Chains A and B, each alone.
Chain A
Amino acid sequence: MMSFIEVHGLHRVYNSNTPEQVNALKGIDLAIDRGEMLAVMGPSGSGKSILLNILGCLDYPKEGKYYFDGQLVSTLKQNKLAQIRNKRVGFVLQDFGILNDRTAIENVITSLLFNQAVKWRDMEKLAHNIMEKLEISELAKRRTSNLSGGEKQRVAIARAMVNEPDIILADEPTGSLDTRLSNEILTLLQRLNEEGKTVIIVSHNPNVSKYCNRTLNIVDGRLCS
């Protein structure tokens, strides 16, 4: 039986056929089951973020096959990939990836704007629900530029969660936070994993692997156990 995510012989090359050619990923094979909490560890430039971008259907491999829930991603059209990003994947980034000129709830609603199954009048309520669940409802009307790093990351997680995705892809989610806040964010991701979400965290922080069921190391574009 096929895993939730399967990757076979994944290669990603940038600036191909030029002197600046970079072989970012060199034959990655990977299988991730539903409900796993996986850490992908590796130094800067090892290719872990690129792997995450491919898993999140933002980038594409040059070679190899990527199956998302049984679907061969390379055969999907752009609008289908956009739907996957919207409904099935939640992104959490190191710099939070939130819009600083808006309020927290407006940032959470951003993700709902592209979900055609959600009506305009329901958006605010859905955003409030998820913020309440993550215990940040008091931040709803505050501008994100006035929030602390930990609060911003919680808002980003709320936005990632609002469409109830199957998987959360976190790229260095603790990279801009101190140890205490990092632990809080990792605990929150762990809680979401316990509720059934598949969580993949890319990081070079060794503390992350303590929160995960499985850890993979990536070095120079290759996975090594």
Chain B
Amino acid sequence: MGRFISFKEMDNREKSGIISGNRSFISLGLVVALLSLVGISGFNILQMLKSRRETIVYLMNGMDWSSLLLNQMARNAIIVLLPAAVTLVAMKIGISLTENNDMFLFGPLNLVVTCGLCAVFMLVSLITVILLYRDRSLSSLMRRDDK
């Protein structure tokens, strides 16, 4: 499904007029990554508030922090990678129907965005667990939830 092209090749293609607006695409990629950061962070914080009691009960009963971290990462990975995969398939189908189907797919922009998203979900997962770890007084967490 698609192929990789380098930034250099992308530049060459821009010079030869095959594709244009690389900088705009990359800027767009950064915006997407930032929006993802906001979205994933927001989702994680809301989830943490919702399931904090459950998480604390699990930790109290013997779940270890690394399992919690893996759990968070796996969940975020599904949230990010599943829609991304669907989008890629849709893009592939869409591009194959256009006249200029030599446009990049899995090109540098995609790589930047994908790596950015992966970094974002790992970072957010880590931060979520660290926040919980720092505020892990059982009683206070439980009581706050009960109000």
Contacts and interface: CB of A to CB of B under 8 A. Distances in A.
A74 to B, nearest CB: 16
B139 A82 contact: no
B63 A82 contact: yes
B61 A110 contact: yes
B138 A171 contact: yes
Binding site secondary structure of chain B: helix
A3 B53 CA distance: 34
Nearest to B56: A97
B61 A113 contact: yes
Interface of A: 49-50, 53, 56, 58-59, 78-79, 81-83, 85-87, 91, 93-95, 97-99, 110-111, 113-115, 159, 171-172
Interface residues of B, number: 22
A97 B60 contact: yes
A79 B53 contact: no
Given A95-B139, A114-B63, 4 more contacts: A94-B139, A97-B138, A114-B61, A171-B139
Which of B57, B58, B67 counts the most chain A CB atoms within 10 A? B57
A56 B146 CA distance: 22
Given A95-B146, A99-B53, A99-B54, A86 B61 contact: yes
A86 B142 contact: no
